[in-house]
Structure 1
Amino acid sequence: MYRLIQAGQLAHKALLQPLLERGLEPGDDAVLFELGRSGKTETDLAHELGATPESLAPRLARLAERELITRQAVGPELAPGVALTERGTRIRNHLADHWAQLEEALLGELKPKHRDRLTDTLKRFVDLLRL
């Protein structure tokens, strides 16, 4: 179990590095990745991230100030919406590339069958620990 915790901590550190290099905070990547799927209302984004709109507002304001996201009115009710800017999309893509390279470096020697088994086992760990 110790090795699993150690590997998780080191992987987390490696994933944070490109965020910190760009002056981003942990959790900003979750916003960028979620918005990379499509623009959303602020309420929908908060729900997808497991946050409240009020707790997400300062992060969105900071990301908008850094010109990574844009805020706009969307939908028939003109609810506050957010979407990635071109700069935000570039950073999101860079983060995705970094994650893919790290995954390949860590799992590249495993055959697809073994990768799938590892993924399923780790998912089961997460599900059991959430109880």
Structure 2
Amino acid sequence: MESDESRRVNRALNKMSKLYREVKSRKLAALGLHPGQDVLLWLLAQEEDGMTVSQLAAQLGIESPTATRTLARMEKRELFRREPVPSDRRQVRIVLTEHARRLIPEIEAAWDELAEETLGGLSPEQRSAVVEALEDANDRLRDQVEESVLTEE
């Protein structure tokens, strides 16, 4: 890749990342949520019986202490309850409350709006190409991150 092109790519991705996060943050704020909490709630909603903190962290690709801190911030809003795991008394499952379940369609609507605002002006073919390119780039970067973690161990 030519130097001018790589600078253009870098600038575009940095700008996109910041703008996307800011707009998403504003939409989530209207629901009383912070970025990241939406994905956490959505994942929990997929599991009727909830998940342990370690399962949730693994699904999110974060460390358990990070998930614990996020949950601590959310606990005040009564978005979930902790239930004991019958087979392991040391573990608890995080289960969404009905209040949180009612937020899921609103979270999904915010995501839909954001996707439309971001790529809605493109043709279906262009949107597909953009999403495919981003997914491929994510895979390449994820491979690099996983390789560096493995070499550090």
Q: CA deviation at 1:9?
A: 1.6
Is the 8 Å Cα contact of residues 32 and 88 (structure 1) preserved in structure 2?
yes
SS at match of 1:106: helix
Q: CA deviation at 1:113?
A: 2.5
| Alignment match of 1:128 (pick from 134, 137, 140) | 140
What corresponds to 1:99 in structure 2?
A: 111
Pair 1:53-2:64 in alignment = yes
User: Matches of 1:111 and 1:11 in 2, distance apart?
Assistant: 20
Q: Which amino acid aligns with 2:24?
A: L
User: Matches of 2:93 and 2:78 in 1, distance apart?
Assistant: 15
Is the 8 Å Cα contact of residues 70 and 82 (structure 1) preserved in structure 2?
yes
Pair 1:83-2:95 in alignment = yes
- Cα 1:13–1:40 shift into 2, 3 Å: same
Query: How many residues in Structure 1 have an aligned counterpart in Structure 2?
Result: 131
Is the 8 Å Cα contact of residues 64 and 71 (structure 1) preserved in structure 2?
no
**Runs (5+) with no aligned partner, structure 1:** none
Is the 8 Å Cα contact of residues 84 and 93 (structure 2) preserved in structure 1?
yes
TM-score (norm 2): 0.72
Pair 1:6-2:15 in alignment = yes
- Cα 1:115–1:48 shift into 2, 3 Å: same
Pair 1:114-2:126 in alignment = yes
SS at match of 2:101: helix
Q: Which amino acid aligns with 1:52?
A: E
| Alignment match of 2:79 (pick from 68, 73, 77) | 68
**Runs (5+) with no aligned partner, structure 2:** 1-8, 145-153
Cα RMSD, aligned residues only: 2.1
SS at match of 1:73: strand
Pick the structure with greater CA Rg: 2
User: Matches of 2:44 and 2:20 in 1, distance apart?
Assistant: 23
Is the 8 Å Cα contact of residues 70 and 84 (structure 1) preserved in structure 2?
yes
Q: Which amino acid aligns with 2:16?
A: A
| Alignment match of 1:42 (pick from 45, 53, 58) | 53
Is the 8 Å Cα contact of residues 24 and 35 (structure 2) preserved in structure 1?
no
Q: CA deviation at 1:50?
A: 2.2
Q: CA deviation at 1:29?
A: 1.8
